[in-house]
Chain A
Amino acid sequence: AQSVTQPDIHITVSEGASLELRCNYSYGATPYLFWYVQSPGQGLQLLLKYFSGDTLVQGIKGFEAEFKRSQSSFNLRKPSVHWSDAAEYFCAVNFGNEKLTFGTGTRLTIIP
């Protein structure tokens, strides 16, 4: 079955520290991969996407993600987090059927 897993429900990091949010998917082929961010009461903002080609993709707000086919993973990273990065992050996958399947989300808390 096609599925998306975000194993970390909640992550707390210090401002200025590095960040990595994990995402794994279950699918036989390479899907379209996305990361979205959601602030409380708001919609989803697209951070970055992977369709094909270079497996390290750059997004907005200083985020990047790396696609690893062998691990069926698409982890999100940021070298140095800012207090404004506190939000919920969703990994989403399009398995070729024009709909997005989302992970359960990772809530990011930033401490001073």
Chain B
Amino acid sequence: DTEVTQTPKHLVMGMTNKKSLKCEQHMGHRAMYWYKQKAKKPPELMFVYSYEKLSINESVPSRFSPECPNSSLLNLHLHALQPEDSALYLCASSQEWRQGAKAFFGQGTRLTVV
């Protein structure tokens, strides 16, 4: 099983709303990631969690708040987003956070900020 599950698949939110994206994996992976992908562009790394601890924050604005409640779950809390934050948000996981780690991606959440 190499499945990373993301919910919801689609989300439309206003600029004053608070919403959360969820990601789940049951592969026993100890590293989990959030990526942002704009149309016709490659995914860009936002956050890395290793053993439930935030290891990398790629200078992401504070309106994006990640959370790792346990080794299988990863959340991304959204608040006061801007229209330019509309994108495909991808979750990924790998066995460990290290060089040469094979990362598996979820199907993504298509976020539209209105």
Q: Does B associate with A?
A: no
